[in-house]
A and B are shown apart, each in its own frame.
Chain A
Amino acid sequence: GAGVSQSPRYKVAKRGQDVALRCDPISGHVSLFWYQQALGQGPEFLTYFQNEAQLDKSGLPSDRFFAERPEGSVSTLKIQRTQQEDSAVYLCASSLTGTANGYTFGSGTRLTVV
């Protein structure tokens, strides 16, 4: 596609519910990144894929967070047993060559846990 597509755009979850956030990167982009942006903060790195391989997951805040990209294109970020502190905008970005020239963000998914 023309840009990085994320869905849903907004998600309200009850505390304890599981959620799945989808990212469809720019066609041909091998690198895919997930970031979490809390209100008034800069984005914080969660995890990074090169094709289907998850090369870095050091930013995932707990074992409730899981990401996958099984076929090297679409990625899903799953959060189990959501907590209020998980409320944030989840940004996906893709790049042709890693971070060398920066990357393109999707519109994000705003998750609100109530």
Chain B
Amino acid sequence: QKEVEQNSGPLSVPEGAIASLNCTYSDRGSQSFFWYRQYSGKSPELIMFIYSNGDKEDGRFTAQLNKASQYVSLLIRDSQPSDSATYLCAVNEAGGSQGNLIFGKGTKLSVKP
């Protein structure tokens, strides 16, 4: 069973702090990694994707990938109350169709003013 594991949280950080969200995956052949943000009652929206080992930065967001450890993380700098949401990690299924993303259950982030 191919799995994506995330700590369900809630992860609570004060406004202005760095929020660190982590994800591990079981399929060593996976090549593409995604972070989605989902507000309560809304659909997931793509924040970032990463393919190569190392860091990828986009504004306040940094995705980090370590394929050897099968680990991907998302750092949110200068966290804002509007960042409070569930963050979903998703991984493409190696050998699957182009459409097959495997999602974790998500980590709920709460940013306190």
**Chain A residues within CB distance 8 Å of chain B:** 31, 33, 35, 40-45, 47-48, 50, 55-56, 58-59, 91, 98-108
**Chain B residues within CB distance 8 Å of chain A:** 4, 32, 34, 36, 42-46, 49, 88, 90, 92, 96-106
- Contact assessment for B103 and A42 in the assembled complex, using a CB-CB cutoff below 8 Å: yes
Q: Assuming the A-B contacts A48-B98, A56-B97, are A103 and B103 also in contact, with contact meaning beta carbons closer than 8 angstroms in the complex?
A: no
- Contact assessment for B4 and A55 in the assembled complex, using a CB-CB cutoff below 8 Å: no
- Contact assessment for B99 and A45 in the assembled complex, using a CB-CB cutoff below 8 Å: yes
Question: What are 13 pairs between A and B in contact, CB < 8 Å?
Answer: A31-B98, A43-B88, A45-B102, A48-B97, A55-B97, A56-B100, A59-B100, A100-B98, A102-B90, A103-B46, A104-B45, A105-B45, A107-B42
Residues of A contacting B43 in the complex (Cβ-Cβ under 8 angstroms): 91, 105-108
Q: Assuming the A-B contacts A48-B98, A107-B43, are A99 and B32 also in contact, with contact meaning beta carbons closer than 8 angstroms in the complex?
A: yes
Most chain B CB atoms below 10 A, which of A42, A91, A104: A42
- Contact assessment for B88 and A42 in the assembled complex, using a CB-CB cutoff below 8 Å: yes
State how many angstroms separate the Cβ of A44 from the closest Cβ of chain B: 7
Q: Which of A35, A40, A58, A104 contacts B105 (CB 8 A)?
A: A40
Residues of A contacting B92 in the complex (Cβ-Cβ under 8 angstroms): 99
Q: Assuming the A-B contacts A42-B104, A99-B32, are A48 and B99 also in contact, with contact meaning beta carbons closer than 8 angstroms in the complex?
A: yes
- Contact assessment for A41 and B44 in the assembled complex, using a CB-CB cutoff below 8 Å: no
Q: Assuming the A-B contacts A40-B105, A99-B32, A107-B43, are A45 and B88 also in contact, with contact meaning beta carbons closer than 8 angstroms in the complex?
A: no
Residues of A contacting B45 in the complex (Cβ-Cβ under 8 angstroms): 104-105
- Contact assessment for B100 and A48 in the assembled complex, using a CB-CB cutoff below 8 Å: yes
Q: How far is the CA of A33 from the CA of B97 in the complex (A)?
A: 11
State how many angstroms separate the Cβ of A21 from the closest Cβ of chain B: 14
Q: Assuming the A-B contacts A40-B105, A41-B105, A42-B88, are A91 and B44 also in contact, with contact meaning beta carbons closer than 8 angstroms in the complex?
A: yes
- Contact assessment for B46 and A102 in the assembled complex, using a CB-CB cutoff below 8 Å: yes
Q: Which residue of A lies closest to B106 (CB)?
A: A42
* 13 additional contacts (CB under 8 A) given A42-B106, A99-B101, A105-B43: A31-B98, A31-B99, A42-B4, A42-B103, A45-B99, A45-B101, A48-B97, A56-B97, A58-B96, A91-B43, A99-B99, A100-B32, A101-B49
